[in-house]
Chains A and B, each alone.
Chain A
């Protein structure tokens, strides 16, 4: 018996559709919002999903995009069922990866017909791709305070994205004072970004300077020693990111811990900025100041996501206190992991060496959260 997951925030609609489907001989799972629906679908992929569009939190389009993005649910047929019944809504639903769009109100016969049509579709037919998802999102990992784990987060995030989407993800190491990303990946680059910028910055040249790692991450390494002042111009970095964009779905940038011209050009070009901090007074205070400074310099606040990285075994400042100071909830938290130092020393990132650890799970969740494009 086929299992159908129905996602709608209206309890009466949810019950009604559930009854309609049960009478049609289907097993039904109900979810009252997008997050709950995704959790249910990922836990046990259904045979078909029916999702409302207008829901608080995740909209039906976002649910659809995430289901298509995850290998566990990419194949599941999706029906968008919505009271928004304009031609543009149908187009948006199909672009988000839905198989079928239906307008409310709907009769039991119409629903049963639609469900049966999709369930009888041959399984070797590929589901529609979400045409606007995975469109070259640039994710920067940044902190004005050193030692909070920026490079470690950038490296593991790039691996998580590469694993999640079975795709190549360039990691651009712009932490120019150290070049630690190569060490964490156990790579020995012969060519670095300094060599690249000495020649023409186009994709063919960039590709020759990218060092592949077995995880699917391709590293554009920083020089092992700080370059001379002015050797890495900001406009060249901008051209670099523009040249990369058409060829990849995600670009991760490990940034330097200063708001110099190079870092600003990266942050301006980024779709998401992960602002990393640790639960201690100076780091929290720096984070608050950084947010204000970024906003003053024209960076849209909604691009910036604060990430609490528990770099110490002791708990640090209470979360509530941190949220009061930052005046926003901290939605992304990375737990302390004692094996992290060993992973760095061995050049074996935790996402590869210990994928079942809570820190690896948290990074995968962060990867999912930053990887979905909002419906445009």
Chain B
């Protein structure tokens, strides 16, 4: 892939939209991907050098576009490096005072498993309804096709679209005393 725009913070991401995997460069303008996706002032992501694959044949490139736009609403999840999964300025995860939850998410055609670290007890309703961030991070994520579980995707972190999450299951931490 080529970086034709000097001075921009272009990085390659795997974005998953409905039935497609789009590998493309996104200019995060020196913010994190969490910031970019959760920026309510923009509804679209501008993509550069997009390579599109169908999600059931994710290794096969079916199209290439030097420029494209992606509706944020349409994004199911994005695979990101760990440091891109949190808001800019937030420190790296501190395990003190946080509980680890294993999560299982059902998105259109894809299931995601991973972990979340939350302070205190996780109130799912509050998390999904009251918190305003549309995209939330999942650590140590693995995604697989619901109808073909041998096709998997993994990464340090996923940013998952709440509005595309149809089922959100969590396991309780072994005990509250396992807080670090």
Contacts and interface: CB of A to CB of B under 8 A. Distances in A.
Contacts, number: 52
B22 to A, nearest CB: 11
A323 interface: no
Contacts of B51: 54, 84
Contacts of A61: 59, 61
Given A83-B12, A87-B152, A375 B60 contact: yes
B157 to A, nearest CB: 14
Interface in A16-70: 52-56, 59, 61
A367 B18 CA distance: 38
A59 B63 CA distance: 11
A88 B59 contact: yes
A12 B1 CA distance: 10
Nearest to B57: A376
A88 B60 CA distance: 10
Interface string B5-40: 000000010100000000100000000000000000
B49 A88 contact: no
A10 B12 CA distance: 13
B2 A88 contact: no
A92 interface: yes
B154 interface: yes
Contacts of B154: 86-87
Interface bracket on A: 20 to 34
A56 B64 contact: yes
Contact of A54 (B1, B60, B153): B1
A52 B61 CA distance: 13
Interface centre among A88, A104, A375 (most CB of B within 10 A): A88
Interface string A72-85: 00000000000110
Among B1, B57, B60, the most chain A Cβ lie within 10 Å of the Cβ of: B1
Given A52-B1, A54-B51, A86 B60 contact: no
Nearest to B61: A59
A92 B2 CA distance: 22
Contact of B59 (A10, A55, A56, A89): A89
Nearest to B59: A92
A11 B2 contact: yes
Contacts of A376: 57, 60
Contacts of A55: 1
A88 B151 contact: yes
A333 B14 CA distance: 39
Contact of A12 (B3, B14, B49, B59): B3
A54 B151 contact: no
B108 interface: no
A86 B58 CA distance: 9
Contacts of A99: none
B2 A9 contact: yes
Contacts of B12: 83, 104
Given A54-B64, A86-B14, A87-B154, A10 B3 contact: yes
A113 interface: no
A38 B60 CA distance: 20
A12 B5 CA distance: 11
A12 B25 CA distance: 15
Contacts of A195: none
Contacts of B64: 54, 56
Given A10-B1, A86-B154, A54 B61 contact: yes
B145 to A, nearest CB: 10
A54 B152 CA distance: 20
Nearest to B11: A83
A374 B66 CA distance: 21
A201 B151 CA distance: 39
Contacts of B66: 56
A96 to B, nearest CB: 9
Contacts of B14: 84, 86
Interface of B: 1-3, 12, 14, 23, 49, 51, 57-61, 64, 66, 151-154
Given A56-B66, A86-B153, 14 more contacts: A9-B2, A10-B1, A54-B51, A54-B61, A54-B64, A56-B64, A61-B61, A83-B1, A84-B23, A86-B154, A87-B152, A88-B153, A92-B59, A104-B12
Interface of A: 9-12, 52-56, 59, 61, 83-84, 86-89, 91-92, 104, 374-376
14 contacts: A9-B1, A10-B3, A52-B1, A54-B1, A59-B61, A83-B1, A83-B12, A84-B14, A86-B58, A86-B153, A88-B152, A104-B12, A374-B60, A375-B61
